[in-house]
Structure 1
Amino acid sequence: MTLSSAISERKLLHRLKEGDQEAFSSLYTTHHDALYLYAYRLAGDEDQAADFVQEAFMYIWEKKALLHIETSLIAYLFRAVRHRFLNLKAHDKVRADFAANFQRHLDQSAYAVDRIIEEKELFEQLQAELAKLPQKMAQIFRLRQQNIPDREIAEQLGISEKTVKNLMSQTLKKLAHTFKRFVLFLFA
């Protein structure tokens, strides 16, 4: 930048700070195309590039009284466009992360609901199958579900511990035939 262009840029900036619309129009006309090309190279999208440039100029106009530019005005504008691009990318990443996390949550919730429904259906089927079993076998199975040791089950029912184990084994074989998946779920 030559000395005369630096002086004229300082005068333009001073006029802009005072609210001179003509100075702003001159600034816009002089730098718009270069900023647009830069923004387009960053974004790869014409509409986004136009938005970045427009936002940078709007910011300059809105904050004109507060502007404190140490470098050249064009360098400031290029940084403003780049800043808008980086903000958009950060925002897109946040949105993508949120969408991925939300989808993961939905998938987990759907899985949990499916699992609850499946467990309820299996439990109802189990109750129906237990009703078909001889009384002692069903009692032993229910007591085992409550984590009561075989010794205590034997005492409660007045049978030997070995009988408890044998009846439980027979019960599991009968249920396994009907509920292969459920038996694995129960005793996994």
Structure 2
Amino acid sequence: MLSFLDLLILIAFASDRFDDESELYKAIKHGDDNAFKKFFDAHYDALFVFLRNRNISREVAEDLIQKAFLYIWEHRKRIKPDLSLKAYLYRIAYTRMLNYLEQEPNHTTLEKHVNGTKKTPLDTIEYKDLRTAFEKAVSDLPERRRAVFESCFIEDLTYKETAEQLSISVKTVENHMALAFKDLRKELEIFNKI
């Protein structure tokens, strides 16, 4: 499961959703090169930043990203169009990063790479401020949007499970999640400038 800080980074770098991601995912599942390229182009840069923010070298980050996308392409028949392929991509890359760090002979501690360099008192204060701002931003979401966001992103339920739990359509869940990401990015943009 992703840490709180990972969650915030994903929100900060989440690109706007495609008009119909499930159609894109279906096309990838059926071997559409153009759809896969669209997916690749939409997520490569943010995934690169995500890994670089974990003190992964440029070369290793590029390699991990290539392997994550390759894994998705090789296993495209397993894609479930109603689930987030982007979240799956990030989990693959994150897991591969952890595996790399465990095997890297020169790393001091896994925590240093995952959580960054040694924390200063200022870092601790900024983290607390960020966490407080995030919790407030989530609580300020409209009630239904907050319920969808908490279900999908915090409880880690799929869009389909969330739709069933809240008695709404999967498309409504997708719309609420896109709007929640947009709202949270706006509320937390000041932390992106620090």
When normalised by structure 1's length, the TM-score is 0.44
Higher-Rg member (1/2): 1
Say which structure is richer in helix: 1
